[in-house]
Amino acid sequence: MIKRISSGGEFEAKIGYCRAVAAGGFVHVAGTVGQGDDVVAQCKSALETIGGALQKAGAGFADVVRVNYYLPDAAEFEPCWPVLAEVFGANPPAATMIECNLIDPKYRIEIEVTALAPAAG
């Protein structure tokens, strides 16, 4: 069974994707950017959107097994570390940070996660 989860974002319909897909025992959350004036604000905003998608799938940050961070400037990653440590806490996932261009220069971080789907009752 495949469950597609939309966040209602304007680009989901324009581009043809959804915020998350629960399938094969996992919840795959698409790369997510956030709003804000700096990388930390955008990181927090992206994590809120991701958290909402995980919740709709019946999962949470404790279920995340993989996270990828994409930043146009790797030097901006370190200010996000305290936010990420707080969100993932005692359940840190495997992680990768990649320096690359994002869809718009105003975005300073994009985050995608894969979580273990909740067991079928």
Alpha-carbon span 84 to 103, nearest angstrom:
22
State mean pLDDT over 98-114.
Answer: 97
- Name the pLDDT band for 10 (thresholds 50, 70, 90): confident
Among the ranges given (12-16, 17-21, 73-77, 105-109), the one the predictor scored with the smallest mean pLDDT: 12-16
Alpha-carbon span 79 to 98, nearest angstrom:
15
Determine the pLDDT at residue 121.
45
- What is the model's pTM? 0.94
Closest to 116 in 3D by CA, of 8, 28, 36, 39: 28
User: 19: burial class by Cβ within 10 Å (0-12, 13-18, 19+)?
Assistant: buried
State mean pLDDT over 84-104.
Answer: 96
Q: DSSP per residue over 40-76, as a string? A: HHHHHHHHHHHHHHHHHTT--GGGEEEEEEEES-GGG
Closest to 54 in 3D by CA, of 14, 32, 22, 80: 22
Determine the pLDDT at residue 14.
86
Q: State the DSSP code for 111.
A: E
Render pLDDT for 80-93 as a digit per residue (tens, 0 to 9).
999 999 999 999 99
Amino acid in position 50: I
Render pLDDT for 33-74 as a digit per residue (tens, 0 to 9).
999 999 999 999 999 999 999 999 999 999 999 999 999 999
Q: At which residue do the structure tokens 């940050």 appear?
A: 61
